[in-house]
Chains A and B, each alone.
Chain A
Amino acid sequence: MKFAVLVFPGSNCDHDCYHVLKHVVGVSTEFLWHKETSLAGFDGVVIPGGFSYGDYLRCGAIARFSPIMKAVEAFAREGGSVIGVCNGFQILVEAGLLPGALIRNRGLKFICADVNLRVETTRTPYTAEFRKGEVLTMPIAHAEGNYTADPETLDKLKRNDQVVFRYCDASGNAADSANPNGAMENIAGIVSEGRNVLGMMPHPDRCAEKVLGSEDGLRLFKSMVNSLSESRV
Chain B
Amino acid sequence: MAFDAAVEMTEEIAARHGLSAEEYARIVRHLGRAPNITELGIFSVMWSEHCSYKSSRVHLRRFPTTGPRVIQGPGENAGAVDVGGGLAAVFKMESHNHPSFIEPYQGAATGVGGILRDVFTMGARPIASLDSLRFGPLTDPRHRTLLEGVVAGISGYGNCVGVPTVGGELSCHPSYAGNILVNVFTLGIAKADRLFRGTATGVGNPVIYVGSRTGRDGIHGATMASAEFDDESDRKRPTVQVGDPFTEKLLLEACLELMSNDMIVGIQDMGAAGLTSSSCEMAGRAGTGIELWLDKVPRREPGMTPYELMLSESQERMLIVAKAGRETEVMEIFEKWDLPVAVIGRVTGSGTLRVMDGGRLAAEIPVQALTDDAPVYNRPIARPTDQDERNRLDPSALPALAEPEDYGRVLRTLLAVPGIAHKGWVVRQYDHMVRTNTVVRPGSDAAVVRIKGTAKGLALSVDCNSRYCFLDPRRGGALAVAEAARNLSCSGATPLAVTDCLNFGSPERPETMWQFSEAVDGISEACAALGTPVVSGNVSFYNETNGAGIYPTPMIAMVGLLEDVEKRAEQGFSKEGEAILLLGETPGRLGGSEYLASIHGLEKGSPPSLDLDLEKRVQAVCREAIRAGLVSAAHDTSDGGLAVALAESCLSGPKPIGARVDLQNPGGSRADEVLFGEAASRIILSVPEGKIAEMEAIAREHAVPFFRIGTVGGEKLEISVGGRGLVSEDVAGLDDAWRNALARQLGVA
Contact = CB atoms under 8 A, between A and B. Distances in A.
B433 A10 contact: no
Interface stretch (A11-19, A72-80, A90-98): A11-19
A13 B155 contact: no
B429 A111 contact: yes
Interface string B60-74: 000000000000000
Contact of B160 (A10, A203, A212): A10
B331 interface: no
B162 A12 contact: yes
B431 A141 contact: yes
Contact of B246 (A10, A15, A203, A209): A10
A233 interface: no
Given A9-B337, A10-B249, A110 B159 contact: yes
Residue of A15, A55, A211 contacting most chain B CB atoms (<10 Å): A211
A141 B434 contact: yes
A15 B427 contact: no
A206 interface: yes
Interface string A109-145: 1111100000000000000000000000001010000
Nearest to B568: A211
B731 to A, nearest CB: 18
Nearest to A12: B162
A205 interface: yes
A13 B337 contact: no
B434 A12 contact: yes
B255 to A, nearest CB: 14
B166 to A, nearest CB: 11
A143 B249 CA distance: 18
Contacts of B230: none
A209 to B, nearest CB: 8
Given A13-B162, A111-B428, A206 B245 contact: no
B433 A53 contact: no
A26 interface: no
Given A10-B246, A15-B435, A16-B434, A112 B565 contact: no
Contact of B161 (A12, A141, A205): A12
B429 A112 contact: yes
Contacts of B432: 112
A113 B432 CA distance: 9
A55 B155 CA distance: 14
> Is the interface on chain B under 10, 10 to 19, 20 to 34, or 35 or more residues?
20 to 34
A125 to B, nearest CB: 23
A50 B249 CA distance: 10
Given A12-B249, A13-B434, A51-B245, A110 B452 contact: no
A208 B436 CA distance: 9
Contacts of A49: 434
B246 A9 contact: yes
A54 interface: yes
B525 interface: no
Contacts of B249: 9-10, 12, 51, 54
Contact of B433 (A9, A19, A206, A211): A206
B276 interface: no
Residue of B249, B338, B566 contacting most chain A CB atoms (<10 Å): B249
Interface string A8-52: 011011011001100000000000000000000000000001110
A20 B436 CA distance: 10
Interface in A190-208: 203, 205-206, 208
B439 interface: yes
B355 to A, nearest CB: 33
B430 interface: yes
B159 A54 contact: no
A112 B433 contact: yes
Contact of B436 (A50, A54, A205): A205
Nearest to A50: B162
B438 interface: yes
B250 interface: yes
Given A12-B162, A211-B439, A110 B245 contact: no
B450 interface: yes
Contact of B159 (A20, A51, A56, A212): A51
A42 to B, nearest CB: 22
Interface in B464-487: none
Contacts of A141: 159, 431, 433-434
3 pairs of A and B residues whose beta carbons are closest in the complex: A12-B162, A54-B246, A51-B160
Interface of A: 9-10, 12-13, 15-16, 19-20, 49-51, 53-56, 109-113, 139, 141, 203, 205-206, 208-209, 211-212
13 contacts: A9-B249, A12-B161, A13-B162, A15-B435, A16-B434, A19-B452, A51-B159, A55-B160, A109-B428, A109-B429, A112-B432, A139-B433, A209-B436
Interface of B: 152, 155-156, 159-162, 244-247, 249-250, 337-338, 427-436, 438-439, 450, 452, 565-566
